[in-house]
A and B are shown apart, each in its own frame.
Chain A
């Protein structure tokens, strides 16, 4: 459902931005384009709507496509701000330099993924390696990680979900150390984060991951450690903010050179208290309280 809403919003925005670009000079004082990560497109969209409501003389177009698309269009000068759920890569930086683009980074929020189990499941902590082995079906029984003798049912998001991509990158591929690893074919692909919560809630065998905003008292989030020697950390906003929770990532905006005019106003707005409240509303973690 959320996906559909995102799609509709995107389609509308795309349509409107096409329609408006014809008379942009006439109706708006300035118009900017934001492109990039599908993960945070919802957040940016809400920011853009609220910002435009405050300053109706400006027009902001928001398009998804992925973090890579965002950087590509920043380099091609087809957008003013690139949104990304990862840092700019070295080769993208070099490419930017050769095109006389100087990417400037702004951290605007954080995103943490919680790993969920049923409330009756005695397991309450796992290491990243254990998680990886479970999601790749190398560990298939809960007793191998200190639980009851039950088969593990893996719940994952659909392959085009940003959450799926990030979890794959961070947990399965350990940030690139074992590239090419995939979720087991036996994992159940659930259509939404809500359906993962629902299944975990009624199935003591299930294990899933969702954005922290989906946590409620019907399910149990487990503490995660990088390895056995480091401590197990529970997914809370504080632990994501201070960087101890391992499955989290910053969300970035990138501009070409130091921003000015409306771009600067927009970025200031996202970092302001009202802007960071929107971060909380859209189930991400603010960078400051």
Chain B
């Protein structure tokens, strides 16, 4: 009796565990099926390197180079802001802050992760966008830079929580050894703690990037969505995610435009897959030490 109960529960757990794999494979399969049909009709290189995105014109033109560049520009911008702030916050929480401050800070950072992206987009649209326009004297505040600032807010919690874990898991003996050899606290942090925690921190950055590049709602509201090749971070950009979100609702099912959006999804999926895979590599490296 006990044994059969065991088997039943084990089977249920096994099925649940397998489900996520099944889902990923199904999603990828579906994306691949729709996207591949598009590539066969239109051509991969024309799709990736084309500069013009006029999906509903006659003849339509499906070039996503400007969309890819837009996504990359926003993501890189967000990382430049979020990575230093995130790592320093993590260092402060785990190494420097007294216990009371640490607990408050930690829960606040976790709370930040819970803010819905639409709220971040909305707040950005009414506060950051006019501010960016006035400070930099631009013709419009709807730029990649405004998007990068708001997305940095979304990446910071991810980066802080995971790199804080990594820093905390550096054995105490390392710090004690460094301090015993006469190193100052800053020297210990910089030369010993950061170095030992580096794989975990890199994984944290990668997961932060993954969060930023897949973000849709906030960027759609604040980056301006102009499908041109951006020349600086103060240009409006159109990201891949915003394109899919904005155009999916009214495409004809099974049409060329519909499938081109799946093809964008496929490109995006491959990019996030590479990012997550790199993060896993670094996390794995940490464990093997």
Selected from B56, B130, B228, B257, the residue in CB contact (under 8 A) with A186 is B228
Q: Are B221 and A185 in contact (CB under 8 A)?
A: no
Assembly CA distance A151 to B55 (angstroms): 27
The B210-249 residues at the A interface (CB cut-off 8 A) are 220-221, 224-228, 236, 238, 246-247, 249
Q: Are B250 and A153 in contact (CB under 8 A)?
A: no
A73 within 8 A of B: no
Contacts A7-B249, A202-B130: A189 and B125 contacting too (C-beta < 8 A)?
no
Q: Are B55 and A159 in contact (CB under 8 A)?
A: yes
For A154, give the chain B residue with the smallest CB separation. B226
B181 within 8 A of A: no
Residues on the B chain within 8 Å of A7, using CB? 249-250
Q: Are A160 and B56 in contact (CB under 8 A)?
A: yes
Contacts A65-B252, A158-B247, A203-B141: A188 and B224 contacting too (C-beta < 8 A)?
yes
- The interface bits of chain B over 14-25 (1 if a CB of A lies within 8 angstroms of the residue's CB, else 0) are 000000000000
Q: Are A187 and B226 in contact (CB under 8 A)?
A: yes
For A66, give the chain B residue with the smallest CB separation. B252
Q: Are B221 and A191 in contact (CB under 8 A)?
A: yes
Q: Interface of chain B, helix or strand or loop or mixed?
A: loop
The A95-111 residues at the B interface (CB cut-off 8 A) are none
A86 within 8 A of B: no
A165 within 8 A of B: yes
Selected from A185, A191, A202, A203, the residue in CB contact (under 8 A) with B246 is A191
Residues on the B chain within 8 Å of A27, using CB? none
A224 within 8 A of B: no
Q: Are B225 and A159 in contact (CB under 8 A)?
A: no
The A142-162 residues at the B interface (CB cut-off 8 A) are 150-153, 158-161
Q: Are B142 and A199 in contact (CB under 8 A)?
A: yes
- The interface bits of chain A over 160-171 (1 if a CB of B lies within 8 angstroms of the residue's CB, else 0) are 110001000000
A21 within 8 A of B: no
Interface size on A, residues (CB 8 A): 31
Residues on the A chain within 8 Å of B56, using CB? 159-160, 165
Residues on the A chain within 8 Å of B188, using CB? none
Selected from A153, A161, A189, A191, the residue in CB contact (under 8 A) with B140 is A153
Residues on the A chain within 8 Å of B28, using CB? none
Contacts A159-B56, A191-B220, A198-B125: A150 and B139 contacting too (C-beta < 8 A)?
yes
Assembly CA distance A206 to B140 (angstroms): 8
Q: Are B140 and A205 in contact (CB under 8 A)?
A: yes
Residues on the A chain within 8 Å of B129, using CB? 202
A residues sitting closer than 8 Å to B (CB atoms) are: 3-4, 6-7, 38, 64-65, 150-153, 158-161, 165, 182, 185-191, 195, 198-199, 202-203, 205-206
18 extra A-B contacts, CB within 8 A, seeds A153-B139, A195-B221 = A3-B249, A7-B249, A7-B250, A64-B250, A158-B247, A159-B57, A160-B55, A160-B56, A160-B246, A160-B250, A160-B251, A185-B228, A186-B228, A188-B140, A188-B224, A188-B226, A191-B225, A206-B140
Complex A-B, nearest 4 residue pairs according to Cβ-Cβ distance, in ascending order: A185-B228, A189-B225, A151-B139, A188-B224
B residues sitting closer than 8 Å to A (CB atoms) are: 52, 54-57, 66, 125, 129-130, 133, 139-142, 220-221, 224-228, 236, 238, 246-247, 249-252, 257
Please list 29 pairs of residues, one from A and one from B, whose beta carbons are closer than 8 Å in the complex, sorted by A's number.
Answer: A7-B250, A65-B252, A150-B139, A152-B139, A153-B139, A153-B140, A158-B247, A159-B54, A159-B55, A159-B57, A159-B247, A160-B257, A182-B57, A185-B52, A185-B227, A185-B228, A188-B225, A188-B226, A188-B236, A189-B224, A189-B238, A191-B220, A191-B246, A199-B140, A199-B142, A202-B129, A202-B130, A203-B140, A203-B141
